[in-house]
Amino acid sequence: MANWNQEKKTDGTTPENADEEMAVAGSDAKPHTVSAPSDHAVKWLLPEKSRRYLAELFQGLRGDVTLLVFVKDGVNEPYNQFCSEFVSDLARISTKINPRFASLDSELAQKHAVRRSPTILVQPETYQIRFTGAPAGEEGKALIEAILMASSGESGLAEMSAKILDQLQEPRHAQVFVSPTCPYCPQQVVTAFRAAVQRPDLISAECVETGEHQDLALRFNVGAVPHTVINADHAMIGLVSEERFVAELLTLQSFEGSESPDGSAGHQGHSAPVDMDLLIIGGGPAGLTAAIYAARSGLRTMILEGKTVGGQIAVTPIVENYPGFSSVSGVALVEMMVEQARRYVQIVQGEPVQEVKIGRRVEALTEHGLYRARALLLATGASWRTLGVPGESELFGRGVSFCATCDGYLYKNRHVLVIGGGNTAVTNALYLKNLGASVGVIHRRDAFRAERQLVDALDKEHIPVYWNSVVEEILGTDAVQAVRIRNLHDGEASHIPTDGVFLAIGETANAGLARDIGLQLTSDGSIQVDDRMRTSHPRIYAAGDVTGGVRQIVTAVGQGSVAALSIFEDLSREG
Ligand code: NAP
């Protein structure tokens, strides 16, 4: 049995990339004024930058928070050690955090019904918040949020969501299945934790690591993350809004596709209008760059992001063509951009814009508020294109996925097929192979359009390619079992048994708002812009993937800067 009062070593026994991932976890940093706790005799798990960030953040802790860590030697061993080191670090950073370590065989484990190693409980005497598995990746952010919530006793739920939960009269257990590299997962976990803080009498919330607890993931047929299961029965696949989450938690009915689960007109209107010079919709590279440039020009600027910051780059496993970085993970690159942008502007996440009105000022309505600005930049990005074949939508989240970075962990030691022949398809195939999956690629032509370097890497890995082949059907009942493909040269059909299908067949512009406003679009549905990123309507601009073109990170960044400079010029001229 490990001695939990002793310092642990941080050598190769920690989970792979733990340092790097924790650096990501702490990289939402604002300009720092607090020095990092440092004691040269102590072996820290967290890098100095994260410690400095957390030290500043934890200055705002009000009450003490107990973190109870349960482990069993020999089970999920590197993750056990990670948990105890992580929690020990947090306790050294703030005296308000009280760590306790116990064995899975202890009475305490029995008392709290803890059966899996590692498990972390947050403030267990007051709340039912638990991590089943180590928060060693993106979801480390959710642990930090849970600590802040438990310390303040405030859930941070919107007023309407709190009112919905007031109606709850029966117990609810929300399990959110996550993977360490899923950028959408922490937000879903935090929403579940908020609910547990709002109604500690009836709601328990659990973050489950799919990689460490694959048996649980299989039991609940988890094929994509985040995947939320309520009371072991009702499922929500993907990141869902807080409004939808609480409504489904209450009713155990699906509100998928419904904008306002509460039946209201959508805008809850409980906050005062926010006024600014420039409103940017979309927090990917284009929006973040524009924000930096605009704010530095003196424009009062804000970013509204419907989901989570980063856009598609946050789910790009590796980027090798962004100058200055010969190889960097997409999430690390975007975290650096976000950190820089946050120095200048406020970024509001999880607030999709429902409607834009153009009058003397531009107005954007969300469920939570009204935002008014002199100019609007649409940096809404693009979404994955779908095949439109039978089985694709039915099995989405049950083996069909668009995000190798999020869901790849579920397919370790299993077979997957990647569809497409561009950079995304080849990058995803290499990433999945690297995770330990057995991978094949299906491409409709006899040559890839992906970069030579990536194609060479694919050859080197001996990843088989089904050339000149199209997918006609994805087969399976509760989960993907096979695909039926047809060879376009000889017309022959064949079945390929597989566990997962990763689609990477290009993108379509997220131009819904632009269409509603009546902006001119191109023939492929992207927003038409001039060379200064002006759209067909004065004071409305667009940048990044939503404008079509070559859709590279560097071009999105370049367009963001051009848009901001144009906006500054135009608004200055207006006086
Ligand atoms: P893409 O370059 O447009 O490639 C889409 C692929 O899907 C093509 O090979 C296309 O086949 C195939 N396809 C399209 N519709 C299909 C259908 N209905 N059925 C079967 N196959 C279909 O898309 P992407 O790979 O997502 O890349 C999008 C942009 O992001 C590109 O500009 C790319 O360079 C960039 N990107 C960059 C990086 C990086 O730099 N690290 C990584 C990912 C993406 P055809 O070849 O026959 O048209």
- Average pLDDT value for residue range 168-175: 97
As to burial, measured by CB atoms within 10 angstroms (0-12 exposed, 13-18 middle, 19+ buried), residue 257 is exposed
274-383+508-573 and 400-503 have identical folds: yes
Dist CA 81 CA 87 (whole Å) = 10
- 65-76 per-position pLDDT tens digit: 999 999 998 888
**Identity at 276, one-letter amino acid code:** M
The pLDDT confidence band at residue 183, using thresholds 50, 70 and 90, is confident
- What's the pLDDT at 525? 96
Dist CA 287 CA 545 (whole Å) = 11
- How many helices and strands, by DSSP H and E, does the chain display? 16, 25
| Cα 426 to ligand 1 centre (Å) | 9
- What's the pLDDT at 312? 85
For every residue of 427-442, DSSP letters joined together read HHHHHHHHHT-EEEEE
Q: What is the DSSP letter of 319?
A: B
Dist CA 59 CA 333 (whole Å) = 28
- What's the pLDDT at 313? 87
506 close to ligand 1 (CB < 6 Angstrom)? yes
Residues annotated as part of the active site: 403, 406-407
Provide, rounded to the nearest whole percent, the portion of the chain with pLDDT above 90: 74
The pLDDT confidence band at residue 158, using thresholds 50, 70 and 90, is confident
- 247-303 per-position pLDDT tens digit: 999 999 988 766 444 444 344 444 677 899 999 999 999 999 999 999 999 999 999
**Identity at 500, one-letter amino acid code:** G
**What is the distance of C-alpha 172 from the center of its chain?**
24
- What's the pLDDT at 311? 85
Residue 114 scores a pLDDT above 80: yes
The pLDDT confidence band at residue 233, using thresholds 50, 70 and 90, is very high
- Average pLDDT value for residue range 183-201: 95
Q: What is the pTM of this model?
A: 0.78
Per domain, the residue ranges of the chain are 6-251, 274-383+508-573, 400-503
- What's the pLDDT at 267? 45
**Which atom of ligand 1 lies at the shortest distance from residue 445's CA?**
47
Architecture (CATH level 2) of domain 6-251: 3-Layer(aba) Sandwich (3.40)
Residue 400 scores a pLDDT above 90: yes
The CATH class of the 400-503 domain is alpha beta
- What's the pLDDT at 40? 60
Residue 209: beta bridge partners? 178
| Cα 428 to ligand 1 centre (Å) | 11
> Which residue has a Cα nearest atom 31 of ligand 1?
551
319 close to ligand 1 (CB < 6 Angstrom)? yes
Beta strand 301-304 with 346-348: parallel, antiparallel or unpaired? parallel
The pLDDT confidence band at residue 77, using thresholds 50, 70 and 90, is confident
- 480-527 per-position pLDDT tens digit: 999 999 999 999 999 999 999 999 999 999 999 999 999 999 999 999
The pLDDT confidence band at residue 35, using thresholds 50, 70 and 90, is low
- What's the pLDDT at 36? 56
- What's the pLDDT at 4? 26
- What's the pLDDT at 95? 96
Q: Closest Cα to residue 313, out of 423, 437, 443, 435?
A: 423
- What's the pLDDT at 207? 98
Residue 179 scores a pLDDT above 90: yes
| Cα 419 to ligand 1 centre (Å) | 10
192 close to ligand 1 (CB < 6 Angstrom)? no
- 439-478 per-position pLDDT tens digit: 999 999 999 999 999 999 999 999 999 999 999 999 999 8
The pLDDT confidence band at residue 563, using thresholds 50, 70 and 90, is very high
CATH 3.50.50.60, domain 274-383+508-573, yes or no: yes
- What's the pLDDT at 427? 95
447 close to ligand 1 (CB < 6 Angstrom)? no
- What's the pLDDT at 160? 87
